[in-house]
Structure 1
Amino acid sequence: MLRLTIDETLTSTQSLLSAPLQSLVAIVAGAMVLTVLRWMIGRTVRSVVDGTTQVRSHARRLLLRGGVDPGPSDPLAAARRVQRAETMGSVLRSAAALVVGVIVLTVIANIYDWDLAPVLASAGVVGVALGFGAQTLVKDLLSGIFMLVEDQYGVGDVIDVGEVSGTVEAVGLRITQVRDLHGTLWYVRNGEILRVGNKTQGWSRALVEVRIGPDQDPAAALALLREAAEALTADEVVGPLLLDAADVTAFEDLSGESVMLRVMIKTVPAQQWAVQRALRAQIQRAFGSGGVTLALPRREVLVERGPLAAQDQTKSD
């Protein structure tokens, strides 16, 4: 009887010790897995921010082989890459912690044979309530994640999102900060952005349109426009900003008052406005030396003399 009692005591003690020990092992294993995941995510983020040596050296060799000077790195592109990588790293770290925490809690519940059905039912009800209440927040967060993954815009880009147009100063998971031309900083919710027009992604285009009078020679004006574009290409400051030759066309619009001519030049991103200002100055000088004048707006006023006007004129006589 005594031996049986001792065996039962040992068995119960071992069972009591095994459950806490297994729980401790599960917690330690979960902490180790989470640490490894966070380290891997942090290393990936650092590699994206800094740029791996192999990728940068390979890209530089390709550019030099093609006769293109890679030059210094663009600070706006670097800031864009940094913010995008850090935001995605934060999302991945939070997701990893959530997944590991749920797995550890599930293992501990299985060890102690907990009945999780009531808890899951309550959590489902609470989740549905929170889902209805926070659906706008969830929509903003999901939209922000997809915008970052798809790289629709970044810091330094000039975008048009409908009612707001300006330079992007910060991109978050919920809010995008846009500074307009007047200096106003707009906070735009990502879930409310239905369309995005990025004016500075990849490359840009400088567009200048001029109107000459109907009595002017369009062929001579086109020749002067080409001279202005060639002078712009030879400029030491503006020339490196051009990516292609100018496209000069005429008769883009025709009326009794004027003929519209157009000049389009492909430029590096976000430099089309500087190129347009320099091109307008060159066109003004070229037209001045070539004797071509711009069309002046004209307005015709029709004056009708009625019976009262005729009577007043008779009385005055």
Structure 2
Amino acid sequence: MTPLVLGQLNVELTDCADTDDWCKSVYELTRNQWLASSANWLIAKPLSILLILVIAIIIRLVARRLIDRLTKANGGGRIPALLRPLKERAPQALGSILSERRAQRAKTIGSVFKSITSVIVFGTAFMMILAELGVNLAPVLASAGILGVAIGFGAQNVVKDFLSGVFMMLEDQYGVGDVVDVGEASGTVEAVGLRITTMRDVNGTVWYVRNGEILRVGNSSQGFAVAVVDVPIGYGADVEQATEVIDRVATQVTDNEPVSDDVLEPPDVLGVERVSAAEGIMLRVTVKTRPGRQWAVQRSLRAHIMGAFEEAGIQGPVVRGFGTSE
């Protein structure tokens, strides 16, 4: 190369920064001053942005796969790894429903973690891309904060429902298969989401309840339940005899199948519960049962006790004014 060309090359290369290798490399390849001076925007920055996006996608993919592994049950009724550190109030007696409940709970919590992971990863990548483009991040962060506050005020009910659903899932207040009372509605839980809980009552009506509107929950399916049976007798009946009949019949019923499978402790005859002119003398017996099975035990006890009362000739309460003329 002649000295004149070398001198011209050195003069033109002075437009490139001393450390800008891209500028020098492009000029050596193209001998074009404009391409060389624009190499940082045409090649370096696009490659940097592409690299940031690729790394963000890989990190998100790895995080989602890890969350999927933590939320996946290995079969045999085992608890997903994500739920093991969390408190679980679901009764073991739910059987197959328990597995469905665990799967749904793990899936819902996993979806929350996936969403949080995506927001963090892509949010960080977006900020790095803006910084790579030379954008001042301070006004952007301030604008994002103001926009977040505005969205929070506008969608506060949705945010309230979402946060309530998250805490409900983490605390395992109720789940699929539980019989619950949430105030305006009661029934069996069919689905639990982060915003809506779906329930079906005894009449078959499906209720969609917003999690943020649930102020208190009565769960009849945790730990154990109590079957409470009140049996009325007339004022002229022998209370001691009626109590002995109730004790005998309740023991027989709870010791035999199929009721015995649902009973946890022997029946407890409490005796006279209340006395009123309309109902006569009310005797009460209670039985500790498996969760959700108290109603079946109550129906069986009532049927057998009333039959035993009729055989023993124990008088029931007299309803005045019903079927008689004054």
TM-score band by shorter chain is: 0.7 to 0.9
- Give the whole-Å Cα distance in 2 for the aligned partners of 1:249 and 1:76: 34
Structure 2 vs 1, CA of residues 153 and 48 (structure 1 numbering), >3 Å: closer, same or farther? farther
* More divergent stretch after superposition (76-85 vs 248-257): 248-257
Amino acid at match of 1:3: N
- Residue 154 of structure 1 corresponds to 175
- Give the whole-Å Cα distance in 2 for the aligned partners of 1:291 and 1:187: 49
- Give the whole-Å Cα distance in 2 for the aligned partners of 1:107 and 1:120: 13
- Give the whole-Å Cα distance in 2 for the aligned partners of 1:242 and 1:53: 26
Equivalent residue for 1:94, pick from 115, 137, 146: 115
Q: 1:29 aligned to 2:52?
A: no
- Residue 275 of structure 2 corresponds to 254
Amino acid at match of 1:28: V
Amino acid at match of 1:22: S
Equivalent residue for 1:141, pick from 158, 162, 166: 162
Gaps of at least 5 residues in structure 2 are 1-6, 24-38, 82-91
- Give the whole-Å Cα distance in 2 for the aligned partners of 1:234 and 1:124: 66
Q: 1:112 aligned to 2:133?
A: yes
- Residue 39 of structure 1 corresponds to 65
How far did residue 50 of structure 1 move? 6.4
Amino acid at match of 1:32: I
Is the CA contact 2:127–2:137 (under 8 Å) kept in the aligned structure 1? no
Question: Alignment partner of 2:73: what SS?
Answer: helix
- Give the whole-Å Cα distance in 2 for the aligned partners of 1:248 and 1:197: 26
Is the CA contact 1:174–1:190 (under 8 Å) kept in the aligned structure 2? yes
Equivalent residue for 1:293, pick from 306, 315, 322: 315
How far did residue 95 of structure 1 move? 0.8
* More divergent stretch after superposition (210-219 vs 252-261): 252-261
- Give the whole-Å Cα distance in 2 for the aligned partners of 1:142 and 1:182: 31
- Residue 279 of structure 1 corresponds to 301
- Give the whole-Å Cα distance in 1 for the aligned partners of 2:140 and 2:158: 25
How far did residue 137 of structure 1 move? 0.7
Equivalent residue for 1:171, pick from 170, 187, 192: 192
- Residue 63 of structure 1 corresponds to none
- Give the whole-Å Cα distance in 1 for the aligned partners of 2:96 and 2:52: 46
Amino acid at match of 1:5: E
How far did residue 48 of structure 1 move? 7.5
How far did residue 204 of structure 1 move? 1.4
- Give the whole-Å Cα distance in 2 for the aligned partners of 1:37 and 1:178: 33
Structure 2 vs 1, CA of residues 80 and 54 (structure 1 numbering), >3 Å: closer, same or farther? closer
Question: Alignment partner of 1:38: what SS?
Answer: helix
- Residue 235 of structure 1 corresponds to 256
How many residue pairs match? The answer is 287
* More divergent stretch after superposition (254-263 vs 33-42): 254-263
Q: Structure 2 length as normaliser, TM-score?
A: 0.79
Q: 1:76 aligned to 2:83?
A: no
How far did residue 18 of structure 1 move? 4.3
Is the CA contact 1:204–1:267 (under 8 Å) kept in the aligned structure 2? yes
- Give the whole-Å Cα distance in 1 for the aligned partners of 2:79 and 2:173: 26
Identity %: 45
Q: Structure 1 length as normaliser, TM-score?
A: 0.82
- Residue 84 of structure 2 corresponds to none
Question: Alignment partner of 1:47: what SS?
Answer: coil
- Give the whole-Å Cα distance in 2 for the aligned partners of 1:49 and 1:42: 15
Amino acid at match of 1:6: L
Amino acid at match of 2:284: R
How far did residue 8 of structure 1 move? 4.8
* More divergent stretch after superposition (286-295 vs 250-259): 250-259
Gaps of at least 5 residues in structure 1 are 56-69, 304-317
* More divergent stretch after superposition (25-34 vs 235-244): 25-34
* More divergent stretch after superposition (88-97 vs 250-259): 250-259
Is the CA contact 1:49–1:78 (under 8 Å) kept in the aligned structure 2? no
